[in-house]
Amino acid sequence: MGYIANLVEMCYNIRYIPYYERVIFMTCTIISTGEELKLVCKNENEPPYPEIKAKLREKIWELYCKGYDRFWINCEYGVPLWCGEIITALAMYNDIELNIAMPYEEQSTNWVEEHRDRFFRLHADSDNVEIISHHYTDNCYNLADEYMIDDSDLLLVVGTHTDCYGASYAKNNGIKVERLLFTLPYQL
């Protein structure tokens, strides 16, 4: 076992399962409750964004070490986009797959240029992109969540204590739900 695997096992008490030993591949969908978008601070380099991203990195690595090697996101700005960037960075040295379920084709049209560039870079680096709806509808995000969850063994809900449609849908369909909670120091 390599240095990284030993370190992970020692620090997190998680047994790393090498890719070649895996028989069953497990899939995790990551969704956000959206509270990170309500913060007063919009600079991703200022608190609490770095702390949120660090928690996301640790959790995604923990899930990967437990055998989750396929991930679904909807690539919305905030937690899903950050998770996609973390997963593609991990994919440079690990066998990990990123899948994107786009709620609708024009998803990033009204985004600022920097975020839109990151969005398209992530699409280029992903393993699979599914477009759920050609045009925006009131339920396109819920349909994207359903699509991702139906192909998953685990749903990771990231946010505050707020519940969301995806969590109730997953519970109703027998999908395991985990939460990654964070606190927000200030909001709009």
pLDDT tens across 20-35, in order?
A: 665 568 999 999 998 8
What value does the mean pLDDT take over residues 47-60?
92
CA distance 40 to 38: 7
pTM of the model: 0.85
Average of per-residue pLDDT values in the chain:
87
Per-residue exposure over 34-46, b if at least 16 CB sit within 10 Å of its own CB, e if not: bbbeebeeeeeee
**Residue-range domain boundaries for the chain:** 27-181
pLDDT of residue 110: 92
Give yes or no for a contact between 69 and 63, defined as CB atoms under 8 angstroms apart: no
Instruction: Name the burial class of residue 187, with classes exposed (0-12), middle (13-18) and buried (19+) by CB atoms within 10 angstroms of its CB.
Output: exposed
pLDDT digits (tens, 9 = 90+) for 60-116: 999 999 999 999 999 999 999 999 999 999 999 989 999 999 999 999 999 999 999
pLDDT of residue 3: 52
> First-to-last CA distance in the chain?
48
Instruction: Name the burial class of residue 50, with classes exposed (0-12), middle (13-18) and buried (19+) by CB atoms within 10 angstroms of its CB.
Output: exposed
pLDDT of residue 20: 60
pLDDT of residue 118: 95
How many percent of the chain have pLDDT more than 70? 82
Q: Which tokens go with 113? A: 């240029």
Q: How many CB atoms lie within 10 A of CB 7?
A: 11
User: CATH for 27-181, among 3.40.640.10, 3.50.50.60, 3.40.50.450, 3.40.1400.10?
Assistant: 3.40.50.450
What value does the mean pLDDT take over residues 138-159?
97
From residue 13, alpha-carbon distances to 6, 8, 70 in Å are: 10, 7, 22
From residue 172, alpha-carbon distances to 166, 167, 169 in Å are: 10, 9, 5
pLDDT of residue 25: 80
Pick 129 or 44 by higher pLDDT. 129
Q: Which tokens go with 92? A: 């440079």
